[in-house]
Every structure is written in structure tokens, then in C-alpha cells.
Structure 1
Amino acid sequence: MFNRTTLIVLVIAVAAGLGLLASQKFFAAPAPTGPAMQTTTLLPQPRELPAFALRQSDGTPLVPGELKGHWTLVFLGFTYCPDVCPTTLTELAQAQKQWEALPESTRPRVLFVSVDPERDDPDRIGEYAHAFHRDTLAATADVPALENFARSLSLVFAKVPAAEGAPADSYTIDHSATLAVLDPQGRMAGIIQPPLQPKAIAADLAALSQASFK
């Protein structure tokens, strides 16, 4: 049975999803001159992200400028996640393997953002992300900074306390499974919703990269 926190997260996630769907119907579709998408839903107009500051697994800051120059897929999760996170990163790794032949300077990237800073320090998230694919970026921050970053991408997360009588650190985290798509200017450009299709994701991001860096 869902607890109150889980229900709140689900309501927010549904509302965010409905908002995205409404915007897609209200505004004109993306220009037909762009590449056809198989699984990516592009926004009619990319939107700038507000300032943010995360910390990468190597200890360096991750600020908006760091996300420029590549198409980037952003996924929120945590290393203690029992199912969605490892499944998603495994599927994204399949797409990343198909991008390895592309020039590094224009190759699409995957950014895993841990929303569990209490347990996930930079070393841990780096080891976790790189176990799926060596090119995956990993970052985290304090909870307020993570909340602001997630909100800017229309994503949500919330801590679910441990069951009564269980160790306090056995809590879990509810979070969006949707991927945010950032363009080479670091703007929110679209979303990819589960179930994920690695081949389609690989094709979409390769096409977007080719169109952007002709």
C-alpha cells in the first residue's frame, strides 16, 4: 500500500506529465525540417535551465556550462535503488555502446544524478555509474540543490522513510523514471518516457547530434 509521501510524489509526477502533454498539444509541433524521432518527445521550444551547481564524481563542479557541446540524457536515481535505476542504466549503456563510433567531441552523453546524497558520496556514484558504462557522468548535491535541479527538468523525487522497526538507513526514494533531454546549449529540449527502447534512443540522439554538428 502506498504511504502518504509516495502518493504525493505520484500526484506531482502525474501533474508534471499532464503539463508536458498539454504543452505538446497546445503549441505547434517541432519544425518538420528536424530529424524524425522514434522515442524522444521534443519540446516545441527548448527552455533555459536556471542556475545550478552539482558535484561530479571526480569532485569537480557541474554547472550549466559543463553540459554544453553535447546532447545529454539526464536520469535521476540512487545507488541503493533495487530495480528502476540498474535497469535504466543498463538500457542506456546499450545506447552508449552504439555511440562509441561517433566522435568524442559530439558524442551524446548520459548524466546520472543521485538524489540520495545522505548515502551516495561522489566516489560511490562514480563507481556505480561507471560499472554500467565508462562514459556515464555522475553527480549529486545537497537536497535543496537537487530539488531545484529536478524541478527545472519537470522531474520529482522524495525520500520514503524506512518501515517501522527497520534500520533508519534502509529508507528508499521515489523518483521520476523519465529521462530529460538537454540540447548542446544545455537547455531542456525534450523527454524520453519508459519503457525505454535502447536502439530507438541511440538512433534519436545520434540523429540529433548529426543535425546539430553538421
Structure 2
Amino acid sequence: MTTRTRPSGTLPTLLVLIAALAAGLGLWAGQKFFSRTAAVPPVESMRLLDAARVLPEFALAAADGSVVDATALRGRWTLVFLGFTHCPDVCPMTLAALARAEKLWATLPEASRPRILFVSVDPERDTPEALQKYAAYFSPTVLAATGDIDALTRFAASLSMVFAKAPLEDGGYTIDHTSWVAVLDPEANLAGFMRPPLDPELIAADMRTLVEHAP
């Protein structure tokens, strides 16, 4: 979760933490009861599901005006992170780590090179222009997208993630959100996740392993 200065013990934060715990337990249970259909390659930076989870249909709006859906994401591995451009700590740290990893896997063939998808859960403030500028600060190839709250909530839930608006004392707000990174396979299915702290070198090595292991 992101950190910020505001009264502790407020109801929104409590609800988010409860939801996050439930989501995490659900993902763990899913891992325990998935049938193993293929050998899982050895990785260090992430935890892979025994079998990828098919995601329900989703459609988000990319900062460049295109649509981000399962069809658009097929063909390459994708690392998905939920956040927002006003995030003071977790979001820039995560995107910086992923961008460093991206530089390390840059020698992979372009057709199979993993992509980074940053999904803003703050559509009220994160306009396409703001998203494009923010993502480009970390890497010109980061794909940035958002959507309406209902679409974002469904997408986040499909990845066992949560987010919620949290008021601040000055009258503004921040966003509480899951801080891990989802790993989507080349079929745009949920293959696993990475928890912070993120190690760019390990991530890059693991993505190379996954690219080479993919059929």
C-alpha cells in the first residue's frame, strides 16, 4: 500500500486492508488448487501460478487513445502495476525498478520483448496527457492506461488487487492500492505476481527465462 500522512485507523483504510487480505488469500488458494498443466520454469523475483488464470473481458483506455484489452496484450509477457500519478512513493519506486529491468532485457527480440503496463486508478485526475507524460518519464515504451471506476475495479479484482480513494486532512485525497505487480503471459492470462521490494536484475533474468520457456 502507498503511505501518506493522515489519521490512522480510518474506515476506508481498514476496508482496503481487509479487502487486500481477502484478495491475497484468494490468490494463494487459487495457487494451491490449480492443477499443474505444464512445468513451471525456475524464477526468483516472482511467484508463478501452477496454471495461468484466464481473465474476464476488460477494456481500458490507453494514454495514446488506443484500447488496452486482452487482444492488445497477447503475444508478449506483460507486467501490470496499478497506481496513480500523484503517488508519492510506491508508484515511482516501482516504475523506476521496472524501467531498469526493461533496459536489461532490451536485447531480447522485439516481437517477444516483455512490456510494462501502468494502470492509473485515479481517472479523476489522471488525464491521457498526464498519464503519457508520467509514464514517459520512466520509459518511452511504458504502456499507460486507465478507465472508469467500474472498469478499473473489475480489472483490479481479476488480478486479485484492490484500490480505494482515501481522504486527506487538507481536503484532497490519495489512493490506497495494492503494491504488487501482476505477471500476464503471452495469452494475456494471469501467470503470477511480484511483491516488493523489486530487484531489476532478478526481474530481467526471470523475464528472459519466461520468454525462452514460452512455447
Q: Normalising by the residue count of structure 2, what TM-score does the alignment of the two structures yield?
A: 0.92
8 Å CA contact 2:43–2:206 kept in 1: the answer is: yes
- Displacement, 1:26? 4.2
Secondary structure of residue in 2 paired with 1:82: coil
How many equivalent residue pairs? 208
Alpha-carbon distance between aligned partners in 1 of 2:9 and 2:194, rounded to the nearest angstrom: 26
- Displacement, 1:27? 4.5
- Displacement, 1:23? 3.2
Secondary structure of residue in 2 paired with 1:184: coil
Q: 1:83-162 alignment to 2 at 5 Å?
A: 83-162=89-168
Alpha-carbon distance between aligned partners in 2 of 1:162 and 1:35, rounded to the nearest angstrom: 44
Alpha-carbon distance between aligned partners in 2 of 1:125 and 1:207, rounded to the nearest angstrom: 30
Alpha-carbon distance between aligned partners in 1 of 2:199 and 2:114, rounded to the nearest angstrom: 16
Alpha-carbon distance between aligned partners in 2 of 1:185 and 1:60, rounded to the nearest angstrom: 19
Alpha-carbon distance between aligned partners in 2 of 1:203 and 1:174, rounded to the nearest angstrom: 30
User: Identity, % of aligned pairs?
Assistant: 53
Letter of the 1:105 partner, please give it: A
Q: Normalising by the residue count of structure 1, what TM-score does the alignment of the two structures yield?
A: 0.92
| 1:56 aligned onto 2:62 | yes
Could you tell me which residue of structure 1 aligns to residue 30 of structure 2?
23
Structure 1 unaligned residues grouped into runs of 5+: none
Structure 2 unaligned residues grouped into runs of 5+: 1-7
- Displacement, 1:29? 5.8
Q: Name the Cα RMSD after superposition.
A: 1.5
8 Å CA contact 2:40–2:50 kept in 1: the answer is: no
Letter of the 2:200 partner, please give it: P
Letter of the 2:98 partner, please give it: L
Letter of the 2:212 partner, please give it: Q
Could you tell me which residue of structure 2 aligns to residue 206 of structure 1?
208
Alpha-carbon distance between aligned partners in 2 of 1:26 and 1:145, rounded to the nearest angstrom: 28
Letter of the 2:201 partner, please give it: K
| 1:5 aligned onto 2:12 | yes
- Select which of 62, 75, 84 maps to 1:78: 84
Secondary structure of residue in 1 paired with 2:21: helix
- Select which of 176, 180, 183 maps to 1:181: 183
Letter of the 1:129 partner, please give it: A
Could you tell me which residue of structure 1 aligns to residue 5 of structure 2?
none
Question: Greater CA deviation, 125-134 or 204-213?
Answer: 204-213
8 Å CA contact 2:34–2:51 kept in 1: the answer is: no
| 1:38 aligned onto 2:44 | yes
Alpha-carbon displacement from aligned partner over 1:75-128 (angstroms, at most 9, x marks no partner): 000000000000000111110010111111100111000000000011111110
8 Å CA contact 1:30–1:42 kept in 2: the answer is: no
8 Å CA contact 1:30–1:43 kept in 2: the answer is: no
8 Å CA contact 2:94–2:198 kept in 1: the answer is: yes
